Structure formats: structure tokens, C-alpha cells
Copies of this chain bind each other. A is one copy, B any other.
Amino acid sequence: MTIDQIEAAAARLSGKARKTPLLSSPFLDEIAGRRVLVKAECLQHTGSFKFRGGWSALSALAPEARARGVIAYSSGNHAQGVALAARMLDAPAVILMPSDAPAPKIANTRALGAEVVTYDRATGDRDAIGAELAEARGLTLVRPFDDPQVIAGQASCGLEIAAQAADEGIAAAEVLVPCGGGGLTSGVALALEARAPGFRVRPVEPEGFDDVARSLTSGRIETNTRRAGSLCDAIQTPAPGALTFPVMARLCGPGIAVTEDEALRAMAAAFERLKIVLEPGGAVALAAALYHPEAVAGEAVIAIGTGGNVSTETFRMALDRHGEAA
């Protein structure tokens, strides 16, 4: 992956993806003891950064492959990103989703015109099911993170961070990234390596699902024992990817783990101080910035708020526990 491939993806995304704002609040700075800037990817189309990778991958396909259609498997955000990109490009899309994915994510994916096929996350092998469907219908598989064009698309978020941080006068900072399989984390790290070498990417995960942090420590791909049940459903991926891990091993770390309750508290803080909606998995980086300041270095920290596709039930839980006390 070169910066040229990333710039090419960013060019394809220009005018299609939103350039999301870098938000801040003096109240959050006070909690963290340093400047905190939040890249609000929850404001991206479909409510998460995943639209970037979906559009990048689909817009790079040959016309005949695009006409046959694509298939994606996802806990929800990648699904919606691919579904919208497919609709905008007139490509059929089949989305393979775990049956325990939040109901609004499944409903939204269907409403965006995709055909949704569900499977059991605990017992099913989504790769095998996806490969079989792709073979049967001639669909192109768009992997959620281990795909060069997907990584290049997510990397466009890193290019924006480099430019926006420069506008804020920030030449060096740690960039905290909610991390599932590592597509966004590795993409942002590659973009920043080229465009903002004073920045360092730190993956953030929920406790109990810290496969990337452990992999970075051991130097080889580690997996999670638990495969489901995290409130941070968007990032409970079993292990880092074969393409993403070497990038992260070279450029990122060490990882940070936060509790589910800290993620909920960060959601309440983002509600109160930034006026944005984050889902638990999208709030873990902000949680690390606010509630683990000792784990972070430097005068400023940038946290990506990766997504906001949360049920009202979970959002109410965050406000009930932490509203007006964040």
C-alpha cells in the first residue's frame, strides 16, 4: 500500500464522502488534562467511516464486476457503507449479517436496497458462507478490512486528520482509533506516516476483545476467546487481518483497552459536550482519551469517533448511567 493508492482512493471519494469535522470542547480538554480533538466519523454517510472503504472498493471495480454485484459480511456498519455505495453505483449488493446484530442496522441495510442474509455469529463461519454465495452468484466479495481498496478508502480519514490538525496548529499527537480488524487503524497510520509523521496511531479496544493490543505485544496475530456479547459490537472482531496486522505492527501501538462502562460514559460526554451520537464501539477512543489520560502522551490527543449507529435502548443506558455527570 502506497500513499499514491491512498490518494487515488481519496480522489474517488471526493464529493462522495463527507469531510467530517474535527470537534472539541473546553470541558473535554479539562477532563483529559490536554487538548482533545474528535474526528466525528459518525457524521459520515450511513453513520460511520465504513462508507469510505465501501465506496473505495466498489468504485475501483471493473464495470462488468460491478454489474454482477458485490457481497459483504459485517456486524452492521460495513454493511450499510457497502449498501449505500452499491446503490449510488447501481450495483446489486448482498450483505451477510450476524443474526444478533442490532435490529436498526439490519433494517437500515435492507432499506438501503441491499439483500440481507443472516447467520449465527457463535456457530457460523461467515467467510465460508460468504465465499459460497459469492461463487454461486458471481459476486465480488468486499471484505470489511483485509482488502487493499478498503484500507485505502479508510485511509482518506487519515489524510483529513493530517490537514485538519495542521489547521489547528497541531504538529504532533497520538491518534486514538477504535479498532476491530484494523482497516481504519492501518489505513490512518499509513496516511499519517506520509502526511503527518509526528503523529502516532494507538488502537483502542474493549476489555476482553483486545486481540490487536495483544498481537502488537506478542508480535504475531492473537485471537479473542469470546466472539460475541460486547456492547461494542462494531469492533468485536476475532483477530487483526493478514494485511492490516503487519502495517499496525510497524506503525501503531501500544494498544489501549477500555471498559464497556467507560465507552458508555464517553457516549454521554460526546452527547453533552460535542452534540454528536456515538455507538459504544465508536466511543472507545474518546473513552481512552478522557478516562485513561495516563496511557496517552503529548499535549494534544485526537480520537476518532468511528460511528453512531446505536439503538435508542443502548443510548438511553449511557444517559441513565452517566448523563450530566460526564
Contacts and interface: CB of A to CB of B under 8 A. Distances in A.
A20 interface: yes
A276 interface: yes
Nearest to A319: B312
Given A21-B21, A23-B43, A276-B276, A271 B324 contact: no
Contacts of A275: 42-43, 47, 276-278, 308
A272 interface: yes
A323 interface: yes
A18 interface: yes
A40 to B, nearest CB: 8
A297 interface: no
A122 to B, nearest CB: 26
Interface in A309-326: 311-312, 315-316, 319-320, 323-324
Nearest to A324: B312
Contacts of A27: 108, 111
A23 to B, nearest CB: 6
A104 interface: yes
Identical chains bound together, number: 2
A79 interface: no
Given A43-B23, A43-B276, A277-B277, A315 B112 contact: no
B319 A315 contact: yes
A63 interface: no
Interface in A66-99: 84
Contacts of A274: 43
A26 interface: yes
A315 B271 contact: yes
A27 B158 CA distance: 28
A47 B276 CA distance: 10
A104 B277 contact: no
A104 B84 CA distance: 38
A320 to B, nearest CB: 8
A312 B323 contact: yes
A21 to B, nearest CB: 6
Contacts of A324: 104, 311-312
Contacts of A320: 316
Contacts of A84: 26
Contacts of A43: 21, 23, 40, 274-276
Interface in A10-59: 18, 20-21, 23, 26-27, 40, 42-43, 47
Nearest to A88: B26
